Structure 1
Amino acid sequence: MDDISTNNHKNTIANDIDDQQILKRNISKVPITLNIRYKTQTFPVECDLYDTLKDLKEKIDKLTDVDPQVQKLVNKSITSVKRDDITTTLKDLNITDGQTLLLVGATRSEILSTSQVNIPSSGNKDSNDDHASPTNKKEPLCKQTKHEKVLKAGKPDNVQMGIRNKHDPLPQSIDGLLMSMLSHSAKKARLTFKLEVDELWINTAETTKKIPMTHIRNIVDEPIEGNEGYSIVGFQTGTTENSIIWIYWCPSQYVKSIRREILSDH
């Protein structure tokens, strides 16, 4: 009996020590300051190393008016792992004092402004579509004259294989595309995603157009009829349809990832 009592006593002490260590870890305070770069501004955010991503995003929301649900923080530690904002701490991501994080996402007012702009229908259904009469439905993008003319030229020689009903991670670049803008003829192009600097590069033989992702207000996308493995994708940088940069023959398996990376769509 004495041995049993001794063992129970040892177990009790061990449990008490474990509880104390957990409690100590929970109440530990390691104040740090992070620099949040958003558009042309940098905001210092005071937080704790044991704050969760949810805590950090709520603080950023108060400074920038970017809803936590659309916030994307670009940092090698954050973007390289799957995480749960509610449970993942800054310490878990090896975030250190003084680091700069890039914030991507539209403010609430920008989202409201974009939702009021009349743009072509995309792959996402509008809530009014179910009640719209057939005569009010817009013509598919691929049937509209300006797009049909480009598509009739056929796929570029170096077009990548398109796969319908599949969602692949965003590649570093997508080749074999055609690009057109208002009053500009279509040119062969390549999309390059520079996530480390928060930019989308559109490369042609003549030039490279560098677009900050925060300047892209909306993305229009629609599968090409008869070639559903490929999509037309439009990057809207202004408030009107004339500001859309059109990309043709984009492999459909990348469209969802493009939207998620640029607009923080889920």
Structure 2
Amino acid sequence: MSDEAMPAVVPDISHSQKNSISNDTGDSSESIDQPPLKKSASNVPIKLNIRYKTQIFSVQCDLYDTLKDLKEKLDKLTDIDPKVQKLVNKSITSVKRDDATTTLKDLNLSDGQTLLLIGATRSEVSSASDLKSGAAGNKGSMEDYASAAHKKEPLCKQTKHEKVIKIGKPENAQMGIMNRNDPLPPSIDGLLMSMLSQTAKKARLTFKLELDELWINTAETTKKIGMTHIRNIIDEPIESNEGYSIVGFQTGTTENSIIWIYWCPSQYVRSIRREIISDY
């Protein structure tokens, strides 16, 4: 057969070669088989020390982890439901945060920092719930008492409170400010304020977070109350002295189980509630 009769040979270009050619020439008509780009992720590992009662847990985190991420890790270590966990440092306790969106970076946390964890384990919560259920029929419950108190005369007009208030504000009491909500002082271990207890003695509140306890100190005694034992808090401004409040800590199911303090600076009442019962 002559050369003119031979058919032309068309080279076979594979799919991968087509992609190569298309890529070189800038022709995007053919798709290029490449793995999808991964979303960039932070890689700023930090270690936090979490103090819970007498234990210290070392937790590996990323600076861009959220509070929700951190609390889920702590749940596995402590069996404390994230919903009842309170992590304490100045950044976290100063304002209410959205756990799902607030990162550790947002809170200015750094490698090696120590945070205090407050909260009852699931077994402790279950035990407390059983006790509460057993007392559910008690007519002197906290809710009933608080409701009745508001229907009656103000606390400061009730005889037992009026007697204490008439003694007057302690001379070195911290200035009270009405219509303001201030965070607790930076030294959260002690709220340095002078007030009167229900025994009409000068008293001071001290938050022992590492023990999960509230201490009410007088010159003679120190009453220690487990924060998980405080069921509710009653507070009411003192008439004609709204910069100060009466505050009651309910530890049982009757009115007699309320521990009262007087002349508490009103600007701290909301922060006290938040520290003890996470009530915003």
Same fold (TM over 0.5): yes
CA distance in 2, matches of 1:175, 1:90: 32
Question: For residues 212 and 149 of structure 2, what CA distance do their matches in structure 1 show?
Answer: 41
**Equivalent-residue separation in structure 1 for 2:221 and 2:98 (angstroms):** 40
Q: Mark the CA change 1:235 to 1:66 in structure 2 (over 3 Å): closer, same or farther.
A: farther
CA–CA separation in structure 1 for the residues paired with 2:260 and 2:253:
15
Q: Secondary structure at the match of 1:253?
A: helix
Aligned residue for 2:193? 175
- The corresponding residue for 2:228 is 214
Is the CA contact 1:39–1:214 (under 8 Å) kept in the aligned structure 2? no
**Residue equivalent to 2:265:** 251
Distance 1:191 1:258 in 2: 10
CA-CA distance at 1:203 after TM superposition = 2.1
In the alignment, which residue of structure 2 is the partner of 1:119?
Answer: 142
Say if 2:101 is the partner of 1:87.
yes
The structure with the larger Rg is 2
Aligned length: 231
Q: Distance in 1 between matches of 2:231 and 2:55?
A: 19
Of 217, 241, 245, which aligns to 1:203? 217
Amino acid at match of 2:41: R
> Which residue is equivalent to 1:23?
39
1:231 aligns with 2:245: yes
Matched, 1:148 2:162: yes
C-alpha RMSD of the superposition: 4.2
**Do structure 1's residue 66 and structure 2's residue 81 form an aligned pair?**
yes
- The answer to whether residue 260 in structure 2 is matched with residue 242 in structure 1 is no
Identify the match of residue 177 of structure 2 among 156, 163, 169.
Answer: 163
TM-score by length of 1: 0.65
| Residues 37-46 or 166-175, more deviating | 37-46
1:252 CA drift (Å)? 1.0
Aligned residue for 2:142, secondary structure, equals coil
Kindly provide the CA deviation profile for residues 86-116 of structure 1, in whole angstroms up to 9, marking residues without a partner as x. Answer: 234456654658x875332456654793995
- Give the TM-score of the pair, scaled to structure 2: 0.62
Residue 240 of structure 1, CA deviation: 3.2
Question: Match of 1:13?
Answer: none
C-alpha deviation, 1:150, in angstroms: 1.0
Distance 1:135 1:207 in 2: 29
Question: 2: distance between equivalents of 1:243 and 1:103?
Answer: 27
Ranges in structure 1 where 5+ consecutive residues have no aligned partner: 1-8, 10-18
Q: Secondary structure at the match of 2:156?
A: helix
Distance in 1 (CA, whole Å) between partners of 2:256 and 2:95 is 38
* Separation in 2, partners of 1:246, 1:237: 11
- The alignment partner of 1:154 has SS state of coil
User: How far apart are residue 81 of structure 1 and its match?
Assistant: 8.9
Give the AA of the match of 1:245.
I
Identity value in percent: 69
